[in-house]
Amino acid sequence: MATIATVLFNGVAYGMLLFIMSVGLSVTMGMMNFVNLAHASFSMLGGYVLVVVTQQLGLPFLVSLPLAFIIAGLVSIILERTVFRYFYGTDDLTQVLLTLGLIFMSIAIVTYFWGGTYQQISVPPWFTGQQDVFGLTLERYRMFLVAVGAVLAVVMIFGLERTRFGACVRACVDNARVARACGLNTELVFAVTFAIGGGLAGLAGALSANLLGIDPNFPLRYLVYLLIVVSVGGMGTITGTLVAALLLGVADVAGKYYAPEIGGFVIYTITVLVMLWRPHGLMGRRA
């Protein structure tokens, strides 16, 4: 019983990471129909911001997290303004190839500066080790992850449902053309959403560096997970992304724990079946 609960908990922690990593992609894909594979590179960028800030500048871990968010957000808004916005009207395949090219470039750039090996990450001592909660022994760092993920999920769902900017975002997801016709500055909404999404990806990269490790192949390794979360959850929905990320996290951890020999088979099969059953995702609305 205790092992089941621990596996479940670890799965939820992993799922929270996937949620923070992919929620921006989900919203921007729902909004602009833009398939941005380079979103995974933003996560890697966040991870390397953490490496530079904590190892080379010697600043504390908690300072590096907002920095990862800000820098990844800045880079994503620069890319959005200079490159991506010229590709909003093109087909899925063109966007896939464009952003795949950007991933290749990001991998080479990172290898050039930091080499191809895994980076050593050290977290503050109060994050390491385990803690007894309700008779379960849980890792402190994973508890921190679950807390951060839960707070972010609540903030985002609340922000989307209750704030003015959230209403603008929802309007753009539902029908960008009509939103523009109503006088909404959709370009601005796109750009800000893109920056927030990219920043969250960077934050997730920094948070995951300790758990998943950070190296130049990070984007290619987690790209498939990102795509699975976004497509299974349904583009443009935050709750859908959360549900899909938690499902995937638990399924992956449980699969690796109980049946390591079948590997990724379970999650890939679930993905294919969900996509055949509901092509717009579990919570996606029909486009």
Partner 1 sequence: MSTITEPATATRTLANQYFAGLARWSIWEILFWAALVGLFFVPDANLPLYGQIVIWGLFAMSLDLLLGYRGIPSLGHAAFFGIGGYAAGYLGKFGWTEPISGLVIAALLAGIIGWLTGRLIQRVSGIALLMVTLGLNLILYDIVHRQSGLTGGDDGLQGIEIAPVLGLFRFDIFGRTAYLYALAITFVLFLVARALVKSPFGLALLGARENPRRMIMLGAPLERDVTTVFAIAAAFAGAAGAVLTQTTQFVSPTALSFQRSADVLVILIIGGTGRLYGGFVGAFVFLFLRDWLAELSPVYWYFWIGLLLVVMVAFFRNGIVPSLETLVGRLRRR
By the rule CB under 8 A, 265 interacts with partner 1: yes
Q: Decide whether 108 or 181 has the Cβ nearer to partner 1.
A: 108
Eight-class DSSP state of 126: G
- Annotate each residue in 106-125 with x if it binds partner 1 (CB under 8 A) or - if it does not, as one string: xxxx-xx---x---------
Give residues 125-144 in contact with partner 1 (rule: CB under 8 A): none
Which range of residues in 74-82, 125-133, 145-153, 272-280 is near partner 1 by CB under 8 A?
A: 272-280
Q: Decide whether 184 or 224 has the Cβ nearer to partner 1.
A: 224
By the rule CB under 8 A, 280 interacts with partner 1: yes
Q: Decide whether 157 or 251 has the Cβ nearer to partner 1.
A: 251
What are the CB-based long-range contacts (under 8 Å, 24+) for 158-164?
A: 160/238
Distance between CA atoms of residues 236 and 253, nearest Å: 26
Pairing of strands 130-133, 136-139: antiparallel
Token match 């758990």: residue? Answer: 211
Judged by CB under 8 A, which of 102, 138, 201, 204 binds partner 1?
A: 102
C-alpha distance from residue 257 to each of 15, 139, 253 (Å): 15, 16, 6
For residue 234, the Cα-to-chain-centroid distance in whole angstroms is 14
137-168 burial, b for 16+ CB within 10 Å, e for fewer?
ebbbbbbbbbebbeebbeebeeebeeeeebeb
User: What's the closest the beta carbon of residue 132 comes to partner 1, in angstroms?
Assistant: 37
Residues of this chain that bind partner 1 (CB under 8 A): 29, 35, 83, 86-87, 90, 92-94, 96-98, 100-109, 111-112, 116, 224, 227-228, 231, 235, 261-265, 268-269, 271-272, 275-276, 279-280, 287
